Amino acid sequence: MLGEEIYEELDRRLTKTDALRLTRFPGEWPERQPVHTCYVPVDAVVPGLAASWGDAALAALDEHGLPDIGLDDDMLDQVLPRVRFKLATEPIEDLRVDAEDGYRGAPDAEDDDVWRAAAVIVAERAAGTAPPSVGIRAKCLEGSTRHRGVRSLDLFLTGLGGGRAVVTLPKVTDVEQVKAFLFVLDALEAAHGVAVDLELQVETPQAVLGPDGTATLARMVHIAGPRLTGLHYGTYDYSAALGIAAAHQASDHPAADFAKQVMQVAVAGTGAHAVDGSTNVLPVGPTEHVHSAWQLHAGLVRRALERGFYQGWDLHPAQLVTRYAATYAFFRAALPAAAGRLAAYLDRTAGGVMDEPATARALAGVLLRGLDCGAVDDAEVRAAGGPERTELDRLAGRRPGGS
């Protein structure tokens, strides 16, 4: 039998490591993760924006009808009414005011456009019609754009005058940029009384692999610390930087998969999320083209969900149709097995699958995500044998403070 001094020495050696691990990997973010981020140029942020996107998506669905996106009739009957309700009530879950690549205004107009966009967000929040999450993407920290980018952030947060906002830093290339930006965010938060979350956009090879051969993203994540809510993959800038021909630049390209898997590993356990990119094949024009674009988009959304990427970009209102149709079908299909396996896990009963705590965490996470976005409701989870919401939060490892 080992003496007590061995156990004491073991604890002494590992106590610091235990504390460091909990600091670096605190567990799942307590708040709801949106299923998408909608990028809208700053000069196109107008009153009623979210509702207009929902109306446009519904109009596209009514005009063209949903093509075959791999759902059987029963699933379509379950999904379509929920999609219509979502588009009518909460079409945009996360809005990013874009003062970077999507903005085409004149340089001397950016101040006014940013200021007006902030005023729109304030009014929409007061009216209860703003998306649940709102933020801004300004220009990157390269020498030619950094002052302009920070000024836009300063104006936007001044205009908000409080609350919470997400700031997206695009084209990040170096850990030192993240360190410097944290200093700026601290100053902005103190000046404007706005709680600021940070996203980093992965659009350059240098962000994935540093010149010394290390995984730059992992260092960025831990430098950013608790401010960081996500790493967003930039499909086209990243692909172009690798020399991939334009016709083959897509979020399901092998090069994209590599970058996103590094992102996924870098954020695992930290509470930040790895977020998929966009497709620029938009569902516009004649029905044949709209259907083709919807089928492509639905396939990309489904593929991302299967690989554990629960959020992506949407660039056009009609993309919301397949964003929600594919997302809702994914979570509704997962409901029976996830609820049943969790019930067996909690009851410690033997079943066809012997689940471990880590698997129970993933099963609870799937049910919570389905509840958060409206794919399923509490009554359905309970009817399928799943536990109450508070128990799901515990099993999923969500930190206190979430919904």
C-alpha dist (Å) from residue 6 to 3, 11, 15: 6, 9, 14
Q: How confident is the model at residue 403 (pLDDT cuts 50, 70, 90)?
A: very low
Radius of gyration of the chain from Cα atoms?
22
DSSP run (H or E) holding 94: strand 94-98
For the chain, how many structural domains are there in total?
1
Mean pLDDT taken over the chain: 94
- Residue 243 within a domain: yes
Here the tokens at position 119 are 């005023």
- Residue 255 within a domain: yes
Determine if residue 169 is left, alpha or beta; phi over 0 gives left, psi from -120 to 50 gives alpha, anything else beta. Answer: beta
pLDDT of residue 349: 57
Task: Say whether 332 sits in a helix, a strand or coil.
Answer: helix
Q: Could you tell me if 194 and 164 are in contact, meaning their C-beta atoms sit under 8 angstroms apart?
A: yes
Q: Residue 191 is part of a domain; what is its CATH number?
A: 3.20.20.60
- Residue 367 within a domain: no
pLDDT at 140 over 70: yes
Q: Could you tell me if 303 and 297 are in contact, meaning their C-beta atoms sit under 8 angstroms apart?
A: no
Q: What are phi and psi of 171, to 5 degrees?
A: 50, 35
pLDDT at 402 over 70: no
> Which of 198, 139, 140 shows the shortest CA–CA distance to 165?
198
CA 299 to chain CA centroid, nearest Å: 18
Q: How many CB atoms lie within 10 A of CB 72?
A: 8
Q: Where are the beta strands (DSSP E) in 146-234?
A: 164-169, 195-202, 228-233
Q: What are phi and psi of 161, to 5 degrees?
A: 70, 20
- Residue 362 within a domain: no
- Percent above pLDDT 90 for the chain: 88
- Residue 202 within a domain: yes
Q: How many CB atoms lie within 10 A of CB 226?
A: 13
Q: How many CB atoms lie within 10 A of CB 237?
A: 17
Q: Could you tell me if 296 and 334 are in contact, meaning their C-beta atoms sit under 8 angstroms apart?
A: no
Vertex 368, ends 267 and 308: CA angle to 5°?
40
- Residue 344 within a domain: no
DSSP run (H or E) holding 134: strand 133-137
Tell me which DSSP letter residue 34 carries.
P
Query: Could you report the per-residue pLDDT of 281-330, keeping only the tens digit for each?
Result: 999 999 999 999 999 999 999 999 999 999 999 999 999 999 999 999 99
Query: Could you report the per-residue pLDDT of 205-251, keeping only the tens digit for each?
Result: 999 999 999 999 999 999 999 999 999 999 999 999 999 999 999 99
- Residue 26 within a domain: no
Tell me which DSSP letter residue 225 carries.
G
Side-chain half-sphere exposure of 167, counting CA atoms within 13 A: 30
Q: How many CB atoms lie within 10 A of CB 231?
A: 26
Query: Could you report the per-residue pLDDT of 342-370, keeping only the tens digit for each?
Result: 988 888 755 555 568 888 889 999 999 99
Predicted TM-score (pTM) of the model is: 0.93
Query: Could you report the per-residue pLDDT of 35-56, keeping only the tens digit for each?
Result: 999 999 999 999 999 999 999 9
- Residue 359 within a domain: no
Query: Could you report the per-residue pLDDT of 88-102, keeping only the tens digit for each?
Result: 999 999 999 999 999
pLDDT of residue 106: 87
Tell whether the torsion through CA atoms of 85, 89, 93 and 97 is positive or negative. Answer: positive
Which residue range is the domain that position 255 belongs to?
36-330
CA separation for the pair 316, 327 (Å, rounded):
17
pLDDT of residue 400: 60
What mean pLDDT do residues 66-81 have?
A: 97
